[in-house]
Amino acid sequence: MLSFFKAYKYFWIFLIVLSIVIIYTFYSILKPTRVLPVWQPSMVNYELVDSTIQHKAKYHTIADFSLTNQNGETITQATYKDKIYIADFFFTTCQTICPIMTDHMYQIQKEIENDDDVMLLSHSVTPKIDSVAQLKRYAKKKGVNDAKWNLVTGDKKHIYELARKSYLAVKTDGDGGEYDMIHTENFLLIDKKRQIRGHYDGTNPEDIERLLDDIKILKASYKN
Protein backbone atom coordinates (compact mmCIF):
# COMPACT_ATOMS: atom_id res chain seq x y z
CA MET A 1 0.00 0.00 0.00
CA LEU A 2 2.84 2.35 0.93
CA SER A 3 4.56 1.71 -2.39
CA PHE A 4 1.28 2.52 -4.17
CA PHE A 5 1.11 5.96 -2.54
CA LYS A 6 4.80 6.60 -3.27
CA ALA A 7 4.23 5.77 -6.91
CA TYR A 8 1.44 8.28 -7.17
CA LYS A 9 2.67 10.85 -4.68
CA TYR A 10 2.69 13.70 -7.21
CA PHE A 11 -0.83 12.82 -8.23
CA TRP A 12 -1.97 12.99 -4.59
CA ILE A 13 -0.18 16.29 -4.03
CA PHE A 14 -1.88 17.68 -7.13
CA LEU A 15 -5.25 16.37 -5.94
CA ILE A 16 -4.87 17.93 -2.49
CA VAL A 17 -3.84 21.29 -3.93
CA LEU A 18 -6.71 21.18 -6.43
CA SER A 19 -9.15 20.38 -3.63
CA ILE A 20 -7.93 23.35 -1.59
CA VAL A 21 -8.31 25.67 -4.59
CA ILE A 22 -11.84 24.39 -5.30
CA ILE A 23 -12.91 24.75 -1.65
CA TYR A 24 -11.49 28.28 -1.44
CA THR A 25 -13.17 29.26 -4.71
CA PHE A 26 -16.56 28.01 -3.55
CA TYR A 27 -16.07 29.74 -0.20
CA SER A 28 -15.24 33.04 -1.91
CA ILE A 29 -18.28 32.76 -4.19
CA LEU A 30 -20.71 31.79 -1.46
CA LYS A 31 -19.35 34.12 1.23
CA PRO A 32 -21.71 37.11 1.43
CA THR A 33 -20.11 40.43 0.56
CA ARG A 34 -20.59 43.01 3.28
CA VAL A 35 -22.61 45.99 2.11
CA LEU A 36 -22.98 49.19 4.11
CA PRO A 37 -26.55 50.25 4.88
CA VAL A 38 -28.01 53.44 3.46
CA TRP A 39 -29.01 55.42 6.54
CA GLN A 40 -32.46 56.97 6.55
CA PRO A 41 -33.98 59.40 9.10
CA SER A 42 -36.20 56.65 10.50
CA MET A 43 -33.06 54.62 11.37
CA VAL A 44 -31.41 57.35 13.45
CA ASN A 45 -31.97 58.47 17.05
CA TYR A 46 -34.93 60.82 16.75
CA GLU A 47 -33.13 63.45 18.84
CA LEU A 48 -30.66 63.89 15.97
CA VAL A 49 -33.32 64.32 13.29
CA ASP A 50 -35.51 67.31 12.55
CA SER A 51 -39.16 66.54 13.29
CA THR A 52 -40.16 67.24 9.68
CA ILE A 53 -38.24 64.20 8.41
CA GLN A 54 -38.10 61.83 11.39
CA HIS A 55 -40.30 59.23 9.71
CA LYS A 56 -38.76 59.40 6.25
CA ALA A 57 -37.89 55.81 5.34
CA LYS A 58 -36.03 56.14 2.03
CA TYR A 59 -34.48 58.36 -0.60
CA HIS A 60 -32.71 60.58 1.92
CA THR A 61 -29.70 62.47 0.53
CA ILE A 62 -27.54 65.42 1.55
CA ALA A 63 -29.11 68.68 0.39
CA ASP A 64 -27.34 71.21 -1.84
CA PHE A 65 -25.08 73.54 0.10
CA SER A 66 -22.90 76.60 -0.36
CA LEU A 67 -20.28 77.42 2.28
CA THR A 68 -16.86 79.09 2.49
CA ASN A 69 -13.65 77.25 3.34
CA GLN A 70 -10.41 78.21 5.10
CA ASN A 71 -9.07 79.73 1.88
CA GLY A 72 -12.13 81.87 1.19
CA GLU A 73 -13.27 79.52 -1.58
CA THR A 74 -16.92 78.64 -2.14
CA ILE A 75 -17.53 74.98 -1.37
CA THR A 76 -20.67 73.32 -2.72
CA GLN A 77 -21.98 69.83 -3.39
CA ALA A 78 -20.19 70.09 -6.75
CA THR A 79 -16.85 70.13 -4.90
CA TYR A 80 -17.70 66.65 -3.64
CA LYS A 81 -19.27 65.33 -6.83
CA ASP A 82 -18.43 61.64 -7.33
CA LYS A 83 -16.50 61.63 -4.04
CA ILE A 84 -16.80 59.65 -0.86
CA TYR A 85 -16.42 62.00 2.09
CA ILE A 86 -16.48 62.16 5.87
CA ALA A 87 -18.39 65.06 7.43
CA ASP A 88 -18.42 66.43 10.97
CA PHE A 89 -19.41 69.52 12.98
CA PHE A 90 -16.98 71.41 15.23
CA PHE A 91 -15.81 74.86 16.31
CA THR A 92 -12.28 76.13 16.60
CA THR A 93 -12.55 77.43 20.19
CA CYS A 94 -13.93 74.16 21.56
CA GLN A 95 -11.73 72.72 24.32
CA THR A 96 -13.59 69.46 24.95
CA ILE A 97 -14.36 66.93 22.20
CA CYS A 98 -13.35 68.97 19.14
CA PRO A 99 -9.56 68.64 19.56
CA ILE A 100 -9.97 64.85 19.78
CA MET A 101 -12.23 64.82 16.74
CA THR A 102 -9.84 67.01 14.75
CA ASP A 103 -6.92 64.76 15.64
CA HIS A 104 -8.94 61.78 14.41
CA MET A 105 -9.84 63.62 11.21
CA TYR A 106 -6.14 64.27 10.73
CA GLN A 107 -5.50 60.54 11.20
CA ILE A 108 -8.09 59.79 8.51
CA GLN A 109 -6.52 62.44 6.27
CA LYS A 110 -3.17 60.64 6.47
CA GLU A 111 -4.84 57.36 5.50
CA ILE A 112 -6.63 58.82 2.46
CA GLU A 113 -4.03 61.39 1.40
CA ASN A 114 -3.26 59.61 -1.87
CA ASP A 115 -6.81 58.42 -2.51
CA ASP A 116 -8.53 60.66 -5.05
CA ASP A 117 -11.95 59.19 -4.22
CA VAL A 118 -12.12 60.32 -0.59
CA MET A 119 -12.29 63.79 1.02
CA LEU A 120 -13.16 65.43 4.36
CA LEU A 121 -15.62 68.20 5.26
CA SER A 122 -15.80 69.91 8.67
CA HIS A 123 -18.59 72.42 9.38
CA SER A 124 -18.22 75.14 12.02
CA VAL A 125 -21.23 75.44 14.33
CA THR A 126 -20.09 78.92 15.42
CA PRO A 127 -19.70 80.59 12.02
CA LYS A 128 -19.63 84.15 13.41
CA ILE A 129 -16.54 83.29 15.45
CA ASP A 130 -15.03 80.99 12.85
CA SER A 131 -14.26 83.46 10.10
CA VAL A 132 -12.18 82.48 7.10
CA ALA A 133 -9.07 83.89 8.82
CA GLN A 134 -9.81 81.92 12.00
CA LEU A 135 -10.36 78.71 10.03
CA LYS A 136 -7.08 79.28 8.18
CA ARG A 137 -5.15 79.65 11.44
CA TYR A 138 -6.80 76.51 12.78
CA ALA A 139 -6.11 74.60 9.57
CA LYS A 140 -2.41 75.45 9.70
CA LYS A 141 -2.22 74.49 13.35
CA LYS A 142 -3.91 71.13 12.77
CA GLY A 143 -2.04 70.13 9.61
CA VAL A 144 -5.01 70.36 7.25
CA ASN A 145 -4.29 69.43 3.62
CA ASP A 146 -6.34 71.94 1.63
CA ALA A 147 -6.69 69.50 -1.27
CA LYS A 148 -8.35 66.87 0.93
CA TRP A 149 -10.06 68.67 3.80
CA ASN A 150 -12.34 71.72 3.82
CA LEU A 151 -13.15 73.54 7.05
CA VAL A 152 -16.26 75.57 6.24
CA THR A 153 -18.18 78.50 7.65
CA GLY A 154 -21.28 80.30 6.43
CA ASP A 155 -24.85 81.16 7.27
CA LYS A 156 -25.73 79.65 10.66
CA LYS A 157 -29.29 78.71 9.63
CA HIS A 158 -27.93 76.92 6.55
CA ILE A 159 -25.37 74.96 8.60
CA TYR A 160 -27.98 74.12 11.22
CA GLU A 161 -30.40 72.77 8.61
CA LEU A 162 -27.64 70.71 7.02
CA ALA A 163 -26.79 69.24 10.42
CA ARG A 164 -30.37 68.41 11.34
CA LYS A 165 -32.09 67.71 8.02
CA SER A 166 -29.25 66.31 5.89
CA TYR A 167 -26.52 64.79 8.04
CA LEU A 168 -28.83 63.75 10.92
CA ALA A 169 -25.98 64.64 13.22
CA VAL A 170 -26.85 66.99 16.08
CA LYS A 171 -29.29 67.63 18.87
CA THR A 172 -30.74 71.10 19.46
CA ASP A 173 -29.23 73.01 22.33
CA GLY A 174 -32.54 73.40 24.12
CA ASP A 175 -31.86 77.01 25.18
CA GLY A 176 -34.69 78.40 23.13
CA GLY A 177 -32.59 79.79 20.29
CA GLU A 178 -34.03 79.07 16.87
CA TYR A 179 -30.74 78.07 15.31
CA ASP A 180 -28.64 77.06 18.29
CA MET A 181 -27.19 73.58 18.55
CA ILE A 182 -24.69 71.70 20.58
CA HIS A 183 -21.66 70.32 18.81
CA THR A 184 -21.62 66.60 18.25
CA GLU A 185 -19.05 63.82 18.19
CA ASN A 186 -20.66 62.25 15.12
CA PHE A 187 -18.66 61.54 11.98
CA LEU A 188 -20.76 60.75 8.90
CA LEU A 189 -19.63 58.65 5.94
CA ILE A 190 -21.21 59.96 2.72
CA ASP A 191 -21.19 58.05 -0.56
CA LYS A 192 -20.96 59.24 -4.17
CA LYS A 193 -24.75 59.53 -4.35
CA ARG A 194 -24.79 61.87 -1.31
CA GLN A 195 -26.27 59.17 0.91
CA ILE A 196 -25.27 58.52 4.53
CA ARG A 197 -23.53 55.15 4.81
CA GLY A 198 -22.32 55.25 8.41
CA HIS A 199 -22.44 57.03 11.79
CA TYR A 200 -19.33 57.00 14.00
CA ASP A 201 -18.20 58.44 17.32
CA GLY A 202 -15.42 60.81 16.29
CA THR A 203 -13.88 60.65 19.77
CA ASN A 204 -13.60 56.85 19.82
CA PRO A 205 -10.42 55.32 18.28
CA GLU A 206 -12.24 52.02 17.65
CA ASP A 207 -14.92 53.83 15.68
CA ILE A 208 -12.23 55.54 13.61
CA GLU A 209 -10.79 52.14 12.71
CA ARG A 210 -14.29 50.94 11.82
CA LEU A 211 -14.77 54.04 9.66
CA LEU A 212 -11.51 53.36 7.80
CA ASP A 213 -12.62 49.77 7.19
CA ASP A 214 -16.02 50.97 5.98
CA ILE A 215 -14.38 53.34 3.49
CA LYS A 216 -12.65 50.30 1.96
CA ILE A 217 -15.96 48.40 1.84
CA LEU A 218 -17.70 51.35 0.21
CA LYS A 219 -14.92 51.79 -2.35
CA ALA A 220 -15.06 48.08 -3.19
CA SER A 221 -18.80 48.34 -3.84
CA TYR A 222 -18.14 50.65 -6.77
CA LYS A 223 -15.94 48.02 -8.40
CA ASN A 224 -18.57 45.25 -8.22
pLDDT means over runs of 10, the chain (224 residues): 55 59 52 82 87 87 98 98 97 92 98 97 94 98 98 94 92 54 86 97 98 97 84
Does residue 193 sit within a domain?
yes
pLDDT for 52: 87
pLDDT for 174: 43
pLDDT for 25: 52
pLDDT for 159: 93
Sequence-distant (6+) residues with CB within 8 A of 186 are 48, 88, 89, 167, 169, 170, 199, 200, 201, 202
Among 208, 11, 9, which Cα is nearest to 111's? 208
pLDDT for 148: 98
168 and 83, same structural domain? yes
pLDDT for 10: 60
Chain-centroid distance of CA 196 in Å reads 8
Output the CA angle 134-169-152, nearest 5 degrees.
25
Does residue 123 sit within a domain?
yes
CATH number of the domain to which 63 belongs? 3.40.30.10
Rounded Cα distance between 28 and 21, Å, is 10
pLDDT for 23: 57
pLDDT for 54: 84
pLDDT for 34: 77
Rounded Cα distance between 139 and 90, Å, is 13
Does residue 202 sit within a domain?
yes
CA distances from 222 to 114, 149, 211, 217 (A): 18, 22, 17, 9
89 and 26, same structural domain? no
Identity of the amino acid at 9: K
24 and 85, same structural domain? no
Rounded Cα distance between 49 and 70, Å, is 28
Does residue 166 sit within a domain?
yes
206 and 147, same structural domain? yes
